[in-house]
Amino acid sequence: MTTPSFAASSEFANPQLEPLFTAEQIQTRIGELGQQITNDYAGRNPLLVGVLKGACIFASDLMRAIDLPIGLEFMAISSYGMSMRTSGEVRIVKDLDVGVEGRDILVVEDIVDTGLTLSYLLATLHQRGASSVRLAALLDKYERRERDVQIDYLGFQIPDAFVVGYGLDFAERYRNLPYIAVLKST
Ligand code: 5GP
């Protein structure tokens, strides 16, 4: 998902990066999550659903840490801006190429903030007849939660700050950083 409200902000006129998690910390945590997922889904064939664009790097690394036969699909979501805040409605910009009926779905998201995007997406996948829907999120900005979202596999909890790197952008920049940093203004 893109973040137009942040991108339009002049708050980050002179951006500075304050490292939060190193590449090594991220990979260690993903290894642990992969092990846990491998154990939990033993004997099954889950379908990973990455949420574009932010989760593309997390999904790529997480799937390599899972020792099971798994599938990978992506969805892209766009919010309706401020109206989403009240209605919780989001728009699917790119849908799945396969049906989810009877499948064990593991949604892979970069960060859960208000929870509006994920609560909509998880409900949609349930409605489509998935036999189970779980969520792996790299980051949890729990202080800002507006909708209850159960994160089954969590990388790290973070405070209310705007973060970039490891797939997360600011106006399409910084996605390629191997680490995660807080974006600050001087
Ligand atoms: P939610 O619906 O939970 O409020 O929104 C989640 C989406 O907002 C994430 O997938 C991400 O695209 C965006 N987002 C929320 N917080 C941050 C942040 O700190 N940094 C970046 N780059 N995106 C964020």
pTM assigned to the model = 0.91
Higher confidence at residue 7 or residue 97?
97
Q: Say if 184 falls within a structural domain.
A: no
Give pLDDT tens digits for 115-151: 999 999 999 999 999 999 999 999 999 999 999 999 9
Q: Has 113 been annotated as catalytic?
A: yes
Ligand 1 test: best mutation among 113, 122, 180, most atoms within 8 Å of CB? 113
| Residue 41 phi, psi (nearest 5) | -105, 20
* Helices 23-40 + 56-64 axis angle, to 10: 60
For ligand 1, whether the C-beta of 177 sits within 6 Å is no
CA distance 13 to 185: 7
Distance 42 CA to ligand 1 centre (A): 31
Please report whether residue 26 resides in a domain.
Answer: yes
**Total structural domains within the chain:** 1
What the block records as the tokens of 13 is 């006129």
pLDDT in tens, 34-69: 999 999 999 999 999 999 999 999 999 999 999 999
The answer to whether residue 164 is domain-embedded is: no
166: in domain: no
Assigned token pair, 45: 């064939």
For residue 10, being part of any structural domain is answered with no
Ligand 1 proximity of 162 Cβ (cutoff 6 Å): yes
**Nearest atom, ligand 1, residue 174 CA:** 22
Alpha helices in the chain (DSSP H): 4-7, 23-40, 56-64, 82-87, 116-127
Whether residue 80 has pLDDT greater than 50: yes
Is residue 168 included in any domain, yes or no?
Answer: no
Domain presence at residue 174: no
- For 72, the domain range is 22-159
CA 116 → CA 65, 87, 99, 121, 122, distances in Å? 28, 9, 23, 9, 10
CATH number of the domain to which 71 belongs: 3.40.50.2020
Contact 23, 54 (CB under 8 A): no
> How far apart are the CA of 43 and the centre of ligand 1, in A?
33
pLDDT of residue 185: 83
25 lines ligand 1 (CB under 6 A): no
